[in-house]
Structure 1
Amino acid sequence: MPRKLRLMLAIGVMPALAIFAALFSLSTIATGLVPERATQLPVLNANAHAAEAAAGLGGFGTPKGAEAAAAMTRAGRETFLSEPINANAISLMALARQLGGDLPGARALYEHAIVVDKRNRLANLWLIEDASANGRLGYILDRYDVLLRTGGPTSTALYDTLATALREPAMVPHLEARLVRNPPWAEQFWLRVAPNPGAIANLGELRLRLLARKIGNPANNDGDIVRRLVGLSEYDIAARLARSIAGAPAGGGFTIRNGEFAARPLVPPFDWETYTGTEFGAELDPASGVLSFFSVTSIDNLVAHQLSEAKAGRYVINYRVRNPEVLGQLQSTLRLRCAEPAMALGTLPLTRATGGAAFTVPPTCRYLWVELWAKREAAPSGYPEDALLESVEVRAAP
C-alpha cells in the first residue's frame, strides 16, 4: 500500500480516537460526569471503571503522567474480574500496555477485545493505526467496516477519511470488495463522498465497477455523481457512467439523446437538463412529447442543454416547433459549443416551424454542448404562451 494512502487512513483515525476518548465513558450520565465517584459504588456498572481511566487522560494519547497507565490497568482489571467478557476492560488493559511500551502485549489484548466484541471502538481504532504502519490496507478497511456499522460521531470522522483516501486509485478495488456486500453504511458512503471533489473521479470508477457487477446504489445519487464529474470536467468517466446507467444513445455515434422528448431524462446532462427562474424556464413533458420553454426578460438565459459525446466531422442540426407563431416575440436559439477545449461551433435561431444548420466538429472536440437559450425583447402584455419544441436532431451532413 502506498505510504501516502496509509498516512491518510492512519491520520483519519486520530479525530475518531479523540471523539472516542470523549464518549468512552457513556455507560450512564453519572458515570460520564463524575467517573471517579462512580467507581466508589459497587461494580453494578462495569464501564464506570473504564470511565475513570478515560478521565485520567487530558486527551487521547497524552496521559497525565505514569499514573494514567496504572489507573487504566486497575480499572481494566476490576472490570474484567467483575465482567470477564467486557471488551472495554480488555481494551483498557491493552491501552495500559501500550502506554507502558509493550506494543506486542497491547496488540494481543486489542485483538482479543474485538474477538469479545468486534465493534469495540477503542480496539478497532488502535488496530487501524497499528495496521497502517504495516501496509495492511485490507485489514484497515475491515476495521473501518466494523466501525461504520456502529454509527455515531466516530463513523462521521471515518467517512471523511475514506473520502480523502479515495483520491488514491489504489483504494478503488478494496472499497469495491466491501461495497459489493451492500453493507448498511453504503448509503451514507455514497452521499458523503460524492461532494468531495478530490475523490469524485475515483468514486465514478468505483461506481462503474459495481454497476458492472449489477450492484445498486442505495443512496440513488448516481445522477448527482454524473453531474459532479461533468462539473469538474471529468467527461470520460461521466460519459462511461451515463452509458452504464442509461445505455448508449439510440443510433450510436454522435447523436442527441431523447431528441423527441419522449421520456424523462435519465442521466442529465447526458440527457436534457432544464433550468427555471422567476422570468424564464423550461420543462420536458414526455406525455406531450415536447420541451416547453418561456422567457419574459430581455436577458438571454440558458433554459435547457445536453452534453453529447462528439466525433469529428461535418453535421447538420435540425429542430421542429409545434407552435411557431410564438417565436415572433420569443427570441430563442440553439447553440453548439465544444466542452473542452471551450469553443463555439454554431448558432441556429428558432424563427419558424422547422429549421436547420450545418456545423463542423474538430478532432480536438470530444464532448459537445447543445444549448437552448431564450429571451424576450419587450415585456408581454399578459401571461405569455410557452414555445413547444418537438424535436432536436443531429445527423451527419450529406
Structure 2
Amino acid sequence: MRAGLAIAAVVIGGYGTAFSIGQAVVSVNPTLAHRLVPYDGRTTAVYAASLTGPEASAAARAQADALASRALRQDPTAVVAASTLGLDAMIEGRKAIARQYFTYAQILSRRDFKTQLWAIENAVGRGDVRGALDQYDIALRTTARGGELFFPILASANATPEVRAGLIHKLVTRPPWGEGFINYLAGSGLDARPAAALFMGLRRAGVVISPVAQADVIEALINGGFTEDAWAYYASLHPGVDRGHSRDPHFAANTDQPTPFDWVAVNTDGISTSIQGGAVDFTVPASVSGAMLRQVQLLPPGAYRLSGHSLGIVQEAEALPYWTLICGSTGRELDRVDVPNSATGSGRFVGGFKVPANCPVQVLTLIARPSEATGGLSGQFDTVELVPAR
C-alpha cells in the first residue's frame, strides 16, 4: 500500500511538473509545450494558432484546424482555438463559418486579439461606425499595444465626419485610452483641421482637452498653413481676443504650455528666458546672440506701435537687444525697434512697424545681440504691447 502510494505520488508529481513546464513555455515554444502537455486544450490551441495565418499553406491550415478542433474538445473555453478556426475559415472565404467561430470566441473572451480584429472588420464591413468604434474601444482596453496599433487608424479615420461624430460620442464617456488618443492626434502630423474639429466637439460636450494637446493642434494648424483655423481655435479658448494687437502685455498668462499666439520663451544655445510673476526674465551668455521671446501675430495691413518697459538692461549700444517683426510666409524682416538701457527714459521704449498687405502672418521676436560684457546680457520686461498706431 505504501509502495502504491509512493508510485502514485511520483506519477502525479510528474504530471504536475510537465503541465507547469508546458504552461511556462507555451508562448515561447508552442510546439514543445504541446509535446509536453498534449492533453491540455489551451496549449493545443496555441500550437494550432502557430501553424496558420494568411501566408500558411492549405495543408498547414488543415493541420491547424484539426488541432484547434481537438483543443475545443479538450477544453471548450479555449478561445484561441475558436479564433484560429474562425481565421482559417475567413481566409478560405467561408464567411458564415468564420462568423460562427468568432462569435463563439467573443462569448468566451473579449481579450483575444484575432477575435477583436475580426469584430472591427465585421462592423466596418456592415457600415456600422458606432459598432466598429465599440470594438476599437474593447481592443484598446484589452490589448497591451493597443494605442500603438490602433491610434494611427483612428486618427486617419477622424477626417470622416461620421467617424468623428462617433469618436466624440465615445470619448465623452472618458475611456482609459481617451487622453492618450487626444494627445496622439494633436501631434500626429496629419491634417490638423479634423483634430481641431474633434477637440471643439469634445469641449462643447464638456471634455477637458489638455493644454499640451491644444497647443500642439494650434501649432500644427499654423505649420500647415491653416492660420485662420488656428486663430478660430485660439479665439474659442480666449473669448473676446483681438487679432489687431499682441496679447498678454503684462505677461500674466502664466501657462506652461503656450500656443504660438501666446508669448513663447526661447531657451537654446545658452539663452535662458522665463515668464513668471508678471514679467519676462532673460539671461544670455557673453558673445551669444539669438531669439529670446516670440509671439505669432495675424495683424491686418497697417501701421503699428510697439511700446514697453524694461528693467536691469545695461549694455553698450551695439549690444542692446531689439524687437523685430518678421513676415511669417517669407521670413522677411519688416523692421526693428531697439531697446535702450533701462536707465534711459525710466526703461520705457517705443517704436513702430508697418505691415504690408502681402504679409498675413507675422512673428514678433525679441533678439539678443552678442555682448562683450563679462556677465553677458540680462534684464527683464514687465510690459510689451503691439497695437495699431493712432
Using structure 1 for the length normalisation, give the TM-score: 0.79
1:270 aligned to which of 245, 261, 281 = 261
Task: Decide whether the 8 Å contact of 1:296 with 1:375 is kept in 2.
Answer: no
One-letter amino acid of the counterpart of residue 231, structure 2 = A
Q: Could you say if the C-alpha distance between residues 141 and 335 of structure 1 is closer, same or farther in structure 2, counting changes exceeding 3 Å?
A: same
1:224 offset after TM fit, Å?
3.2
The yes-or-no answer on 1:215 pairing with 2:196 is no
- In structure 1, the gaps of 5 or more residues are 1-26
1:49 aligned to which of 41, 44, 50 = 44
Report the 3-state secondary structure (helix = DSSP H, G, I; strand = E; otherwise coil) of the residue aligned with 1:176: helix
Report Cα offsets for 1:327-358 as digits up to 9, x if no partner. Answer: 74632111113324654333211124222233
The residue that corresponds to 1:68 in the other structure is 61
1:229 aligned to which of 217, 221, 226 = 221
1:203-352, aligned counterparts within 5 Å? 203-217=195-209, 220-249=212-241, 252-265=242-255, 267-286=258-277, 289-298=278-287, 300-323=289-312, 325-326=314-315, 328=317, 330-340=319-329, 342-351=331-340, 352=344
1:295 offset after TM fit, Å?
3.2
Report Cα offsets for 1:134-168 as digits up to 9, x if no partner. Answer: 44443332222111111323542222333444455
Task: Decide whether the 8 Å contact of 2:147 with 2:177 is kept in 1.
Answer: no
One-letter amino acid of the counterpart of residue 53, structure 1 = A
Q: Could you say if the C-alpha distance between residues 37 and 219 of structure 1 is closer, same or farther in structure 2, counting changes exceeding 3 Å?
A: farther
Distance 2:64 2:164 in 1: 39
1:158-237, aligned counterparts within 5 Å? 158-166=150-158, 171-217=163-209, 220-237=212-229
1:375 offset after TM fit, Å?
0.9
Using structure 2 for the length normalisation, give the TM-score: 0.80
Q: Could you say if the C-alpha distance between residues 74 and 331 of structure 1 is closer, same or farther in structure 2, counting changes exceeding 3 Å?
A: same
The yes-or-no answer on 1:111 pairing with 2:76 is no
The residue that corresponds to 1:367 in the other structure is 361
Report the 3-state secondary structure (helix = DSSP H, G, I; strand = E; otherwise coil) of the residue aligned with 1:371: strand
Distance 1:72 1:138 in 2: 34
Distance 1:259 1:30 in 2: 65
1:102 offset after TM fit, Å?
1.5
Distance 2:57 2:279 in 1: 72
One-letter amino acid of the counterpart of residue 254, structure 2 = R
Report Cα offsets for 1:244-267 as digits up to 9, x if no partner. Answer: 345443xx3422221112331453
1:132 offset after TM fit, Å?
4.0
The yes-or-no answer on 1:129 pairing with 2:144 is no
One-letter amino acid of the counterpart of residue 348, structure 2 = T
Distance 2:265 2:211 in 1: 23
Task: Decide whether the 8 Å contact of 1:302 with 1:374 is kept in 2.
Answer: yes
- In structure 2, the gaps of 5 or more residues are 1-21
Report the 3-state secondary structure (helix = DSSP H, G, I; strand = E; otherwise coil) of the residue aligned with 2:217: helix
1:78 offset after TM fit, Å?
3.0
Report Cα offsets for 1:167-210 as digits up to 9, x if no partner. Answer: 55654323222222111112322343333212433222222221
1:388 offset after TM fit, Å?
1.7
The yes-or-no answer on 1:90 pairing with 2:82 is yes
Distance 1:320 1:328 in 2: 18
The residue that corresponds to 2:3 in the other structure is none
Distance 1:34 1:96 in 2: 21
Q: Could you say if the C-alpha distance between residues 112 and 220 of structure 1 is closer, same or farther in structure 2, counting changes exceeding 3 Å?
A: farther
Larger radius of gyration: 2
2:138 aligned to which of 143, 146, 161 = 146
Task: Decide whether the 8 Å contact of 1:327 with 1:387 is kept in 2.
Answer: no
After superposition, the CA RMSD in angstroms is 3.0
1:293 offset after TM fit, Å?
2.3
Distance 1:387 1:30 in 2: 65
1:215 offset after TM fit, Å?
0.5
Distance 1:81 1:317 in 2: 82
Distance 1:280 1:220 in 2: 23
The residue that corresponds to 1:388 in the other structure is 380
Distance 2:77 2:210 in 1: 36
* Number of residue pairs the alignment of both structures matches: 363
**What is the identity percentage for the equivalent residue pairs of Structure 1 and Structure 2?**
21
